[in-house]
Structure 1
Amino acid sequence: MFYLRLARGYRAPDLGRWLLTAAAAAVVAGFLLRALGRALSDPLGSGDAVVRLLWCLPALAAVSWFAAVAARAVPAQRPERIAGLISAGAGPGRIRALIAGESALAAGLGSALTLVVFLVLRNDIAGATLAPELGMGVALPAAAPVTLLALLPLLAGAGAAIAVPVGDTLPGSGPRPAPHRFHVLRVAVPVGLLVTGVALELYGLRPGAGENARPVRLPAGLGSSNLATLAGWAVTALGLALLTGPLLAWAGRLLAIARPTPLRLLAGRGLTAQARRLGPPLAVLALTLAVVLTVIRYWVAAPGTADVLPVVETGLVVGCAVAAVLTRLAEIRGTRRDVTEDLLRLGAPPRLLYGAVALRVLTAGTVLLVTGGLTALLGAAVLA
C-alpha cells in the first residue's frame, strides 16, 4: 500500500495510457463475450465457436503489446516517480510488479465494465437482433465469462512485466543507448525472408498455378488463394517488418553524409540512434495499415463481402499500433530531454531542433511508405 501511495499523482500521459489500456481491453472483452454468446446460441457440434475465439487472438495480442510498450515508457517518462520508489526501498522487482499491476488493473476494469454491460443486455433488454450474440434464453455458466475475461489482465500484466528492463529501474542507470549499427545477422535474416517470400509468391502467381493447387479459403469474405501465394506474402511481410529498423538507421546515415549541414547532421544522427527503438512499433503500424488498405480495396471491388467484426477488430489493432508509436515517441523524447537541454544551453536555436524533428519524421515516413507500399502491393496480388 505504501508503494501505491507513492505511485499516485497521475499526469495526463499516465492517465491517457491507463484509459487507453482499459478501453482496448473493454473492446476485446466484447469480442470474447460475443464469442461466448454465439457458442451458447449455436447448436452443439457446429464448430464455429473455435473460429470465433481464434478471431479474438489478434485483438488480444494487440492489447498485450500496447500494454508492454506503454509500460516500457514509464521509467523514461516518470523518472522522478521511479527515483521516489527506489528511495523508499523498492527494488527493480517491486517496481516492475507495480507497473505490471497498473496495466493489469486497467485491463481488468475495462473487462469488468464490458461484463456488466453484457449482463445488463442479457436481462431481456437487448432486442431480437442481439439475442443470438448474447446467448439469450440459455443459462450462462458463471465460470465461462470469468475465465475468458481473466485472460486480458493476465496478458496485459505479463506483457508489461516483461517489457520493463530491470536495469532501467536502478538508481542512476537510465536506459543505455543502443549501438547505432545493426548486427549482420539482424540484416541478413529479413533480407533472406524477403527474397524467399517474393520467390514463393511469384511461384504461386505463375500461369496455371491455381489449376492444380488446393485453394485456401480466407476469412472476412476475402475469397480464396493458393497456399504458396499466401505463405509467400506472409514471409515477405515479416521480412519487410524486420527490415524497418535497419532501413531507418541507413536512412539516418544517408542524411549525415557528404559534409552535412547542422540540420541534416542532427536529424541523421538522431534517426540512426533511435532506429532500434522506433523500428518495431513503426513496422507493426506499417504492416497493419498495409493489410487494412489491401482489404478495403478488395471490399470496394467486391461489394457486399465486408463483415462488421473484422472492421471493428481492425480498428482496434490500428488504434493500438498508433498509440504504441505515440508512446514510443514520448519515451524517446523523455530519454533525449538532457541532450535537448544541452543543445539549447550551447546556443542551438529552437528552429534548428524543430527542423531536425521534421526532417526525421519525413525520412521515417518515406521508409514506411516503401515497406508498407510493398506489403500492400504484394497483398493485393494475393487477393486479386
Structure 2
Amino acid sequence: MFYLRLARGYRAPDLGRWLLTSAAGAVVAAFLLRALGRAMSDPLGSGGAVTRLLWCLPPLAAVAWFAAVAARAVPAQRPERITGLIAAGAGPARIRALIAGETALAGTLGCALTLLLFLILRNDIAGAALAPELGMGVELPPAAPITLLVLVPLVAGISAAAAVPVTDALPGATPAPGPRGFHPLRIALPTGLIVTGVALELYGLRPGAAEDGRPVRLPAGLGTTSTAALGGWAMTALGLALLTGPLLSWAGRLLALARPTPLRLLAGRGLTAEARRLGPPLAVFALTLAVVLTVVRHWVRTPGNADILPVVEAGLLIGCAAAAVVVRLAEIRTARREVTDALLGLGTPPRLLYSAVAIRTLTAGTVLLLTGGLTALLGAAVLA
C-alpha cells in the first residue's frame, strides 16, 4: 500500500522510469523463460542450457545498469518526496531501501506479465514453431520459472540500493565538494590498458597468428578469432571507456582555454564540472553502440549468420544505455537549476545558455565519436 501511495504522486519522469524498468524486466524474463523452455524440450545430455543462460547475462546487466542510474537520480529529481519521507520518520537507509523496493516492484510486474504470457502460450495456443521455445508437451515444474524470474527484481533492487549514496538521500544537507579533476592513477590505468590492449591485438592479428594456439569461436555467427586479438580488444575497449570521463574534462578545459568568451567559458566550465557524472553513462552507451554496430557490420558482410535473439538483446542493451544517459542528463539539469536561475537573474540572455548547452553537446559527441569509433574500428579488425 505504501508504494501505491507513492505512485499517486508520480509525474511523467517517474512513470516513464517505472515503465521502462518494467518493460526491460519483461524482456529479460522472456529470455530466461525461453532458456527454460528449450532446456525442457531438448533431450537429456544434449547441452546448450548453460550457453542459453549465459546469453541472458548481458540483458540482465543492462537492466541492472539502468536501474542503478535511475535510482541514483531519484533524490535529486524529487527532493520534495524525500523531504516528506524524512518528515515521516524515514532515515537515509530506509529511503535507500524504499527506492530499491520501488525498482524491484517494477521489475516484478514486468516478470509477472511475461510469465502470464508464457503460461497462456503453453496452453496449446502457440504454433509448432514456438513449441520448442516454450517446452510444450513437457510438464512445467512450478519452482523453475519462479526461481529464474526472481533474479530480475533481485538484481534490479540490489543495483538501485547500491547506487543511492546515503548522503544524497538527505535533501538540504550540504555534501562535501568532490574533486574537480581526476586522480593521476585514474588516467594512468586506462592509458596502460589501451596501450597494452592495442599491442596485444596487433600481436594476435599478425600474419600466421591463426595457426598459433587454439582459436576462440565467437557466438551469434561471428566466426573465430585468436585469444590474443580478442583479449587485446577487450582491454582496449575497457580502457577507452574508463578514459571517457577524463577526456570530457580535458575537452571542457580546452574550450575555456586562453581568453574565452562568455559562451566558451560557460560551455567549458560546465562540461568540466559534470565530466565525472557524465562519463560513466556516456562510456557505457558508446561501448554498447560500438559493439552492436561492429556485429551488425559483420552480419551485413556475411549474410545468413544473424539470429533473432542477438538482435533483440542488442536492442535492449542500446535502449537501456540510452535511457541511462537521458536519466543522468535530467539529473544534471535538476542539479544545475539554481545556477541557471542565478545566471538568468543576473541578466544572462537565455540564448547564451542554450548555445552553451549546444556546444557542450557537440563537444561530448566528438569525444564519444573518438572513443566509440576506435572501439568499433578495433572490433572490426578482430572480426575481419
Query: TM-score when scaled to structure 1?
Result: 0.98
Write the mapping of 1:297-376 to structure 2, written as runs, cut at 5 A.
Answer: 297-376=297-376
Q: Which residue of 1 aligns with 2:234?
A: 234
Query: C-alpha separation between the residues in 2 aligned to 1:320 and 1:174?
Result: 31
Q: Which residue of 2 aligns with 1:61?
A: 61
Query: C-alpha separation between the residues in 1 aligned to 2:316 and 2:7?
Result: 29
Offset at residue 3 of structure 1 (A): 7.8
Query: C-alpha separation between the residues in 2 aligned to 1:150 and 1:325?
Result: 27
Decide which moves more: 209-218 or 246-255.
209-218
Deviations 1:11-57 (A, max 9, x none): 00000000000000000000000000000000111110000000000
Query: C-alpha separation between the residues in 2 aligned to 1:6 and 1:364?
Result: 36
Offset at residue 179 of structure 1 (A): 1.9
Query: C-alpha separation between the residues in 1 aligned to 2:84 and 2:8?
Result: 11
Q: Is the 8 A contact 2:75 2:171 kept in 1?
A: no
Q: Is the 8 A contact 1:288 1:318 kept in 2?
A: yes
Write the mapping of 1:122-137 to structure 2, written as runs, cut at 5 A.
Answer: 122-137=122-137
Offset at residue 7 of structure 1 (A): 6.4
Query: C-alpha separation between the residues in 2 aligned to 1:213 and 1:324?
Result: 40
Offset at residue 210 of structure 1 (A): 1.1
- Amino acid in the other structure paired with 2:214: R
Write the mapping of 1:73-222 to structure 2, written as runs, cut at 5 A.
Answer: 73-173=73-173, 176-222=176-222
Offset at residue 206 of structure 1 (A): 1.0
Query: C-alpha separation between the residues in 2 aligned to 1:321 and 1:214?
Result: 34
Query: C-alpha separation between the residues in 1 aligned to 2:97 and 2:368?
Result: 35
Query: TM-score when scaled to structure 2?
Result: 0.98
Q: Which residue of 2 aligns with 1:70?
A: 70
Query: C-alpha separation between the residues in 2 aligned to 1:380 and 1:5?
Result: 51
- Amino acid in the other structure paired with 1:10: Y
Decide which moves more: 224-233 or 168-177.
168-177
Query: C-alpha separation between the residues in 1 aligned to 2:363 and 2:6?
Result: 41
Name the % identity: 80
Query: C-alpha separation between the residues in 1 aligned to 2:4 and 2:110?
Result: 20
Offset at residue 213 of structure 1 (A): 2.7
Query: C-alpha separation between the residues in 2 aligned to 1:178 and 1:16?
Result: 30
Q: Is the 8 A contact 2:104 2:154 kept in 1?
A: yes
Query: C-alpha separation between the residues in 1 aligned to 2:208 and 2:3?
Result: 66
Query: C-alpha separation between the residues in 2 aligned to 1:238 and 1:358?
Result: 28
Q: Is the 8 A contact 1:179 1:273 kept in 2?
A: no
Offset at residue 209 of structure 1 (A): 1.1
Q: Is the 8 A contact 2:285 2:318 kept in 1?
A: yes
- Amino acid in the other structure paired with 1:134: L
Instruction: Give the gaps of 5 or more residues in structure 2.
Output: none
Query: C-alpha separation between the residues in 2 aligned to 1:5 and 1:212?
Result: 63
Query: C-alpha separation between the residues in 2 aligned to 1:92 and 1:194?
Result: 40
Q: Is the 8 A contact 2:3 2:102 kept in 1?
A: no
Distance verdict in 2 for CA 1:321–1:176, change over 3 Å: farther
For residue 274 of structure 2, give the secondary structure of its aligned residue in structure 1. helix
Distance verdict in 2 for CA 1:110–1:6, change over 3 Å: closer
Q: Is the 8 A contact 1:29 1:149 kept in 2?
A: yes
Query: C-alpha separation between the residues in 2 aligned to 1:93 and 1:225?
Result: 48
Offset at residue 177 of structure 1 (A): 4.6
Deviations 1:63-105 (A, max 9, x none): 0110010000001110111111111111001111111011000
Query: C-alpha separation between the residues in 2 aligned to 1:176 and 1:363?
Result: 28
RMSD across aligned C-alpha pairs, in angstroms?
A: 1.1
Query: C-alpha separation between the residues in 2 aligned to 1:81 and 1:348?
Result: 31
Offset at residue 207 of structure 1 (A): 1.3
Instruction: Give the gaps of 5 or more residues in structure 1.
Output: none
Offset at residue 215 of structure 1 (A): 1.1
Query: C-alpha separation between the residues in 2 aligned to 1:87 and 1:75?
Result: 15
> Does 1:29 find its partner at 2:36?
no
Distance verdict in 2 for CA 1:132–1:43, change over 3 Å: same
Offset at residue 175 of structure 1 (A): 5.4
- Amino acid in the other structure paired with 1:339: V
Q: Is the 8 A contact 2:21 2:106 kept in 1?
A: yes
Q: How many residues align?
A: 384
Q: Which residue of 2 aligns with 1:14?
A: 14
Q: Is the 8 A contact 1:7 1:81 kept in 2?
A: no
- Amino acid in the other structure paired with 2:57: L
